[in-house]
Amino acid sequence: MKKTRSTPEVHIGPLKMGGDNPIVIQSMTNTDTSDIDATVAQALELAHAGAQVIRMTVNDEAAAKAVPEIITRVRTQFELNPMAFVGDFHFNGNKLLKAVPDCAQALDKYRINPGNADDTNFKEMVEIAVQHQKAVRIGVNGGSLDQKVLDNLMELNAQSPTPLAAGNIFIKAMVKSALNSAQLAESYGLKKNQIVVSVKISEVNQVVAAYQSVAEQSDYCLHLGLTEAGSGLQGVVQSSVALGILLNQNIGDTIRVSLTPNKNVPRSEEVEVCKQILQSLDLQRFRPKVVSCPGCGRTTSTFFQDLALRVNNLIDQELSHWKKEFPGVENLNIAVMGCVVNGPGESKNSDIAISLPGKMEKAQAPVYIDGQLSVWLKGDAIENQFIEILKDYIKTRFA
Ligand code: SF4
């Protein structure tokens, strides 16, 4: 699926987003930025997982002073893809950027939250961006919406003969704040192709409505995200639903999934979810796809589940090596099915597939290659034999 909403191409350091460029994945560190070692380590984790843009908090002078070294060290240690670095500024961004010009120069983009920047702060941050030729994200957030904008719209709504619900006014205020601020930034000298806009809210229907409205009213490059999505499954599902709807409508140039940290889950989970979202929508491929059925009363053993798991584990272990040796391997489609009900159909739609025997079926498993029945596997070694056939297929097809 190709993007059809036309946005300007924005250059963020060595990285290009918007225009016809693929959707960019980004994430944010949650270390104390002044702790250079910890921030470099986490930025590298995110980069290796596939984040192309990494944002870090710049909340005080120690953080600002740490930024240049962090960027240099990450760029030196990670040369696989072009990376861009963003500083997240709020109440004192202008003071920090003026006090630490090396930080202003080292960053590729400044994130400015109009709700947390007074007029002087906002103007001076944009002017510094213009001076250093940096991109800016106007990042409006539902939790820190500019109260003046909301109050004005609420007052007008109260006087209207057909007032809208408060939730609708809130969305209007988010959009107005973002677009007014972006236009103000242009009036201070920033070009349209140096501006990215976001309108993050923590509620799925509202965030979808807000981005749709921005997309209807402007052609700014858009950073999509559901803010404060929560932790675990809730955060993953809510973010996937919101971003999936918008991306499917060709809205969005870069995405971030904001998950509440869990000490048992790496920060790079955010990046993995972004990749899954883009792959689910066929926008980009990152790893071979494994179709496997959910199982039912026709499968009395865990045989096909074990094989599906083993195939997925093999992909996880071998993917970085396969990508170097076998270019295009991420486009492979594999099916591991539990019985002959849907097995043959899915097998014919996959590059390589196996249907395990269900209850009462003969203890044999058909393997399909390129949609054609290739061999029947029998006996105790079916699992190992299929793994070997899969490896050989990859070697032959993608060599
Ligand atoms: S393919 Fe067979 S085992 Fe799998 S869900 Fe369908 S009927 Fe059940």
Q: What is the pLDDT of residues 112-143, one digit of tens each?
A: 999 999 999 999 999 999 999 999 999 999 99
| 231 touches 201 (CB < 8 A) | no
Rounded distance from Cα 293 to ligand 1 centre (Å): 6
Euclidean distance between CA atoms 245 and 248, whole angstroms: 5
Helix boundaries (H) for the chain: 36-49, 61-77, 93-99, 101-106, 119-132, 147-159, 166-187, 204-217, 232-248, 269-280, 303-325, 343-348, 382-398
- Name the pairing type of β-strands 15-17 and 10-12: antiparallel
* pLDDT single digits (tens) 235-251: 999 999 999 999 999 99
Rounded distance from Cα 339 to ligand 1 centre (Å): 5
* pLDDT single digits (tens) 56-98: 999 999 999 999 999 999 999 998 889 999 999 999 999 999 9
Rounded distance from Cα 283 to ligand 1 centre (Å): 29
pLDDT of 201 reads 96
pLDDT of 380 reads 83
Euclidean distance between CA atoms 225 and 363, whole angstroms: 48
| 152 touches 90 (CB < 8 A) | no
Rounded distance from Cα 398 to ligand 1 centre (Å): 30
pLDDT of 38 reads 98
pLDDT of 243 reads 98
* pLDDT single digits (tens) 167-181: 999 999 999 999 999
88 or 5, greater pLDDT: 88
Domains detected in the chain: 10-280 (3.20.20.20), 289-398 (3.30.413.10)
- Sorted by sequence, the CB contacts under 8 Å of residue 290 that are 6+ apart come out as 308, 311, 312, 315, 334, 335, 336
Q: Which of 22-26, 53-57, 175-179, 360-364 has the lowest mean pLDDT?
A: 360-364
* pLDDT single digits (tens) 191-240: 999 999 999 999 999 999 999 999 999 999 999 999 988 889 999 999 99
Nearest CA to ligand 1 atom 5: 295
299 or 30, greater pLDDT: 30
Residues 336-346: what's their mean pLDDT?
A: 87
Q: Which of 137-146, 297-306, 318-327, 349-358 has the lowest mean pLDDT?
A: 297-306
pLDDT tier at 4 (50, 70, 90 boundaries)?
low
pLDDT of 228 reads 87
pLDDT of 3 reads 55
Ligand 1, atom nearest to 340 Cα: 2
- Sorted by sequence, the CB contacts under 8 Å of residue 357 that are 6+ apart come out as 339, 363, 364, 365
pLDDT tier at 291 (50, 70, 90 boundaries)?
very high
Residue to mutate (ligand 1; options 293, 301, 303; most atoms within 8 A of CB): 293
The reply to whether ligand 1 has any atom less than 6 angstroms from the CB of 341 is yes
